[in-house]
Structure 1
Amino acid sequence: MRARYWHALEDGRIQCDLCPCFCKLREGQRGLCFVRARQENELILTTYGRSSGFCVDPIEKKPLNHFLPGTPVLSFGTAGCNLTCKFCQNWDISKATQFDRLQDQASPEAIARAAKEIGARSVAFTYNDPVIFLEYAVDVAAACREAGLKTVAVTAGYITAEARKEMFGVMDAANVDLKGFSEDFYRTLCTAKLRPVLDTLEYVRHETNCWLEITTLLIPGKNDSAAETQALSQWIRQRLGPDTPLHFTAFHPDWRMRDTPPTPAATLQTARRIALENGLRYVYTGNVHDEAGQSTYCHCCGERLVGRDWYDITSWALTGDGRCAHCREACGGVFEPRPGAWGSRRLPVRLELHGQMDTLT
């Protein structure tokens, strides 16, 4: 499919304007993401309609704790990535350059239809970054909206100002991966820049109706200092607001950082305490068993509003309009009168092509 966001240069190359990498390509070359390529003097998206797989997950796994808690979400991704994170936890998909990994083919309408058939409330673009398959994600979002479904972007937020308008203008929720809070971290470990990510966060929070949550993977010795955690928390409080949920998740050795030790649970708990002390109301721990750190509390009276044990909802004290049942203080988020009951199940699904009809098997 012909891609958007590019222009021709005077030296004969074309420049991709989708993300701040600004790849400049000659005929036959691909961008850093590998999936946007120059072909016959234009830029094309090589993965349109192709996926690395589909799975029904709990929405909390994205992670989103304030968006339709307990409901199932149909998740999928493609291949490639526009960052080069040495700590990538999904490297087998995001770093894939072999298109035989893309085994499932589905039109936007087929994905929406499949999500409805299995009872999902939303569709998530995840596993690799939806920024690099923007055209496909936007079309799927339109089909989902037509079918009465929500859409979720799980992204690093590394996108240009013009493209982010289209991307987040059609999303109902997003979890943006704020990988660290220094330019040095982004430059040395991700081959990227921090500033465009911060710009994306501010845009989503203040210029769209998309519900926003943030995840920071804490890596021992790299971005887990108390000073960096405090600076990150203060920026979120001041620029995005105290109701923006923040998830601190545990690193495990992977990709090109196998010699770095896993994140101790105590590090996550300390980061959570620092963020709360700096005025954030909803701070969570992830990739560890920590019921206290994964539950939602009223910022006014301290009552537990949503109890969680990993991805299972264990208690519920929210009113139908998203308020604390004890003191009536509002809780930021997108809630329904009762939570879903999907639990922690993970259900792989396959979309197959039969004639002109995509069906779920």
Structure 2
Amino acid sequence: MINGLGQSPSDDFPPGNFPTEYWHCLEDGRIQCDVCPRACKLREGQQGLCFVRARHQDQIVLTSYGRSSGFCIDPIEKKPLNHFLPGTPVLSFGTAGCNLACKFCQNWDMSKSREMDTLADQAMPEQLALAALEKGCRSLAFTYNDPVIFMEYAIDVALACHEQGICPVAVSAGYICEAPRETFFQCMDAANIDLKAFTESFYKKICGGSLQPVLETLKYLKHETEVWFEITTLLIPGENDSDPELNSLCEWVVEQLGVDVPIHFTAFHPDWKMMEHTHTPAGALARARNIAIGKGIRYAYTGNVHDSHGGSTWCHNCGQLLIQRDWYQLGIWNLASGCCHQCGEKVAGVFEEQPGDWGSKRIPVRMKP
């Protein structure tokens, strides 16, 4: 098949290897990958830090095309997306590898795996789109690891999804360069972007990356696309949860993105290389949410804790409860044509007249051979 970039697999490439577009040759004989700001410079046979983009036969190839793992039907709210087709099921999957090195990664067994045998299932784009359709999913999410590193595969899946009326959703850290950013996101209907902190020092020390490219991605999504997107910030005690940092983050969101972009403050639990840190107290999430609301953000949420008030959607104009959430279970629904049933105020997002009834179910899926 030919993908959205106009390329096709070749018999010259081992199974899973797929030609890519964003790279260039250097004078010293290395080839630089231009997908993300890491700019990995590779000699023949070497892989980038992401593990899945490699130099093969004097070009950069994607080694994980059509090879995926972790298929599961989730509530869309788990991505988290609270303003995109609430209550509906989403088919979720990921691959191996990642282009950041977050010490707190909660999917490190997949994102940091160098073993391709973790990619247990072959799943070509048409298979995935049809599986989502057959299972009654309204959308399909690239998640568990960052889809920008397997963008050629993700783009083909997104195109196949559109043919079946399925919405592709990207769950991403937004760590991507300008040209591939445009190519990738023009195929997506929705996204959740991890804004991991609001300091360069955190990104450098904890994630092995930098903040500015993520901010550029957020501005691009807001001002140059029709993609519905929401932001998630995982609060880690003592690392990115201070009042000054949260104030700066929320002020930037309001000034650069506007007041209608939802933001989720979610709870950290010790994992991978940050086992010595403590869990995020529920009070810290409520404090962050209150800071966001105080700065003018209309839709601020808490996550990874049981907090029905902080997880529900409220009308910014009259205070009416619009969408009640208990974890991922929806209750009261006070929207009419995307507006507050009480005062008529428009609510930002992608809503249907009635919510889905998927609830909090999580159902593993096995791809058909």
The TM-score, its normalising length taken from structure 2, stands at 0.95
Q: Matches of residues 46-65 of structure 1 in structure 2 within 5 Å? A: 46-65=63-82
1:316 is aligned, of 329, 333, 336, to 333
Q: Matches of residues 251-262 of structure 1 in structure 2 within 5 Å? A: 251-262=268-279
Using the aligned pairs only, state the percent identity. Answer: 63
The corresponding residue for 1:359 is none
The corresponding residue for 1:357 is none
Q: Secondary structure at the match of 2:72?
A: strand
Q: Secondary structure at the match of 1:352?
A: coil
Report the number of matched residues: 352
* CA deviation after TM superposition for structure 1 residue 3, in Å: 1.6
CA distance in structure 1 between the partners assigned to 2:38 and 2:344 by the alignment: 47
Letter in 1 for 2:284: T
Letter in 1 for 2:117: D
CA distance in structure 1 between the partners assigned to 2:324 and 2:355 by the alignment: 11
- Cα distance per residue 1:176-214 (max 9 Å; x no partner): 000000000001111101000000000011101100100
* CA deviation after TM superposition for structure 1 residue 224, in Å: 0.3
* CA deviation after TM superposition for structure 1 residue 277, in Å: 0.3
The corresponding residue for 1:196 is 213
The answer to whether structure 1 residue 242 and structure 2 residue 267 are counterparts is no
CA distance in structure 2 between the partners assigned to 1:114 and 1:284 by the alignment: 31
The corresponding residue for 1:162 is 179
* CA deviation after TM superposition for structure 1 residue 352, in Å: 2.6
Q: Secondary structure at the match of 1:52?
A: strand
CA distance in structure 2 between the partners assigned to 1:314 and 1:228 by the alignment: 34
1:332 is aligned, of 315, 337, 348, to 348
1:305 is aligned, of 301, 304, 322, to 322
The answer to whether structure 1 residue 346 and structure 2 residue 357 are counterparts is no
Unpaired runs of at least 5, structure 1:
354-361
Do the aligned residues in 2 keep the contact of 1:242 with 1:279 (CA within 8 Å)? yes
The corresponding residue for 2:10 is none
Q: Matches of residues 132-281 of structure 1 in structure 2 within 5 Å? A: 132-281=149-298
CA distance in structure 2 between the partners assigned to 1:151 and 1:335 by the alignment: 16
* CA deviation after TM superposition for structure 1 residue 283, in Å: 0.2
Do the aligned residues in 2 keep the contact of 1:105 with 1:352 (CA within 8 Å)? no
Q: Secondary structure at the match of 2:335?
A: coil
* CA deviation after TM superposition for structure 1 residue 348, in Å: 0.3
Letter in 1 for 2:91: L
- Cα distance per residue 1:15-47 (max 9 Å; x no partner): 000000000000000000010000110111000
* CA deviation after TM superposition for structure 1 residue 153, in Å: 0.2
The corresponding residue for 1:290 is 307
- Cα distance per residue 1:250-277 (max 9 Å; x no partner): 0000010000001000000000001100
* CA deviation after TM superposition for structure 1 residue 52, in Å: 1.7
2:118 is aligned, of 66, 85, 101, to 101
* CA deviation after TM superposition for structure 1 residue 104, in Å: 1.0
- Cα distance per residue 1:101-123 (max 9 Å; x no partner): 00011110010000000000000
Q: Secondary structure at the match of 1:181?
A: coil
Q: Secondary structure at the match of 1:124?
A: strand
Q: Secondary structure at the match of 1:351?
A: coil
Q: Which consecutive segments of 4 or more residues in structure 1 shift more than 6 A?
A: none
The TM-score, its normalising length taken from structure 1, stands at 0.97
- Cα distance per residue 1:280-316 (max 9 Å; x no partner): 0000000000000000000000001000000000110
CA distance in structure 2 between the partners assigned to 1:244 and 1:293 by the alignment: 16
* CA deviation after TM superposition for structure 1 residue 144, in Å: 0.3
Q: Secondary structure at the match of 1:308?
A: strand
CA distance in structure 1 between the partners assigned to 2:239 and 2:109 by the alignment: 23
The corresponding residue for 1:43 is 60
CA distance in structure 2 between the partners assigned to 1:59 and 1:113 by the alignment: 18
2:142 is aligned, of 125, 142, 149, to 125
CA distance in structure 2 between the partners assigned to 1:4 and 1:181 by the alignment: 31
* CA deviation after TM superposition for structure 1 residue 89, in Å: 1.1
The corresponding residue for 2:38 is 21
Tell which deviates more after alignment, 177-186 or 2-11: 2-11
Q: Secondary structure at the match of 2:310?
A: helix
The Cα RMSD (Å) is: 0.5
Q: Secondary structure at the match of 1:60?
A: helix
- Cα distance per residue 1:49-73 (max 9 Å; x no partner): 0102210000000000000000000
